Structure 1
């Protein structure tokens, strides 16, 4: 059963990893919820498993995702993350195949199928245009294209920006309508603006927000830049 998941373009993903949990994670989620409504930008908020219920109850506009799940069914499987449990806790989707939690194509295909069965949207990471095209064949809801070399430590250069068009082309040769998020190496609102202007449907940040001197302020700057860059792109299309 493929779920009826809808996300507007542009959108933004905030991945907490293990930087925040509990009350601090909920506070950031509430602020993200406000920014989602203020700027008209859909926000995916990837929380710790233990915070999914707290975050989902405290917010109304952001899309709460789990950071991973396993393609298991109710029954045996100590330590596994059950898709049904994520759904019951309030998650609407799941992040899969992150560079810090890689999956084989076989397990990834099983995971996407299980997510579909329970009604969880899938945001699947790809480290290259080739992997992105291969993943597109599995029909996830969205693809997150990011270079492992940039995650948490890199900074984007001109070559990385040029890769956006190449990756988009490779994926859309397989699935024309696939929403594509380009991430990694996002340090500030300028990076966000440039990535959206370069053709991304979305972008996102973890360390750029979490390590900022004022995380709430940086998050707002990034969301505002998403909206501004998208508006500029759409205006240019109208003039063509």
Structure 2
């Protein structure tokens, strides 16, 4: 199965375990409309139990799960089967997030399974050294978030963003870089894209906002503004 091509700059909405069921679907539908209106690729992370429904009720999103395993069809209990999530409409998965780290050998095997199923891999690293190391595996996307900033509303400084962008690209030029640690304002969004990142996104900055849908719209609009400005330069 062929992976979906990703257009930069892209945006990632990652509700983690903040949203599920009807509330997740509501935000997903809003993101789906924004993806269409602004002609932008949006990854939307779902709970496994919501994947099939959200995939069926949206048309423009890149439906993403928070993790999957290297399990193959047959015996195996309590793991996430790549074929199963693919059949549910999932097109991408996070791997090695700071809140769900995995060993290198497990990461390698799971990435191989993702390749077989045409599932986009968003691999996570929490330092420049780890970013450089994981980039040798050539993931489709890399998230470079210092663990201590996740969920704090504090963003990585520009120098860190630039250094991780360069570290990844030096090893794997085709890997896209996602800078999303602590993104909570449109200024944060602009800084991430202007740093040279291929995409940005948010979790608590969106879902914990007074009006999550309005906040999401502002962030997506800002990405497209920066995109258009960069084209004109």
TM bin, normalised by shorter chain, reads: over 0.9
Query: How many pairs does the alignment contain?
Result: 233
Which structure 2 residues correspond to residues 48-63 of structure 1 after superposition, within 5 A?
48-63=47-62
Q: TM-score, normalised to structure 2's length? A: 0.96
Cross-structure match for 1:89: 88
Aligned to 1:145: 144
3-state SS in 1 of match to 2:75:
coil
Q: Counterparts of 1:67-78 in structure 2 under 5 Å?
A: 67-78=66-77
Q: Give the 5 Å matches for 1:158-177.
A: 160-177=157-174
TM (norm. structure 1) is 0.93
Q: Within 2, Cα distance between the matches of 1:169 and 1:198? A: 10
- Distance in 2, matches of 1:141 and 1:156, equals 23
Deviation at 1:165, TM superposition (A): 1.5
Shift of 1:95: 0.9
| Partner in structure 2 of residue 98 of structure 1 | 97
Q: Distance in 2 between matches of 1:93 and 1:198?
A: 24
Match of 1:124, SS state, is: strand
Aligned 1:216-231 pairs, distance under 5 A = 216-231=213-228
Question: Could you give the per-residue CA deviations for residues 162-216 of structure 1, whole angstroms, max 9, x where no partner exists?
Answer: 1122111111111112211111111121211111112111001000011000000
* Residue 133 in structure 1 maps to residue 126 in structure 2: no
Q: How far 1:228 sits from its partner (Å)? A: 0.9
- 8 Å Cα contact 2:206-2:212 kept in structure 1: yes
Runs of 5+ unmatched residues, structure 2: none
Q: Are residues 1:211 and 2:208 paired?
A: yes
Q: Which residue number corresponds to residue 199 of structure 1?
A: 196
Take 2:217 and 2:34, find their aligned partners in 1: how far apart are those partners? 7
Q: Which runs of 4+ in 1 moved over 4 A?
A: none
**Alignment partner, residue 11 of structure 1:** 10
Q: How far, CA to CA, are the matches of 1:4 and 1:98 in structure 2?
A: 21
Partner Cα separation in structure 1 for residue 136 and residue 114 of structure 2? 16
RMSD: 1.3
List runs of 5+ in structure 1 lacking aligned partners: none
Q: Tell whether the 8 Å contact from 1:197 to 1:230 is kept in structure 2 after alignment.
A: no
CA contact (8 A) 2:24 2:46 kept: yes
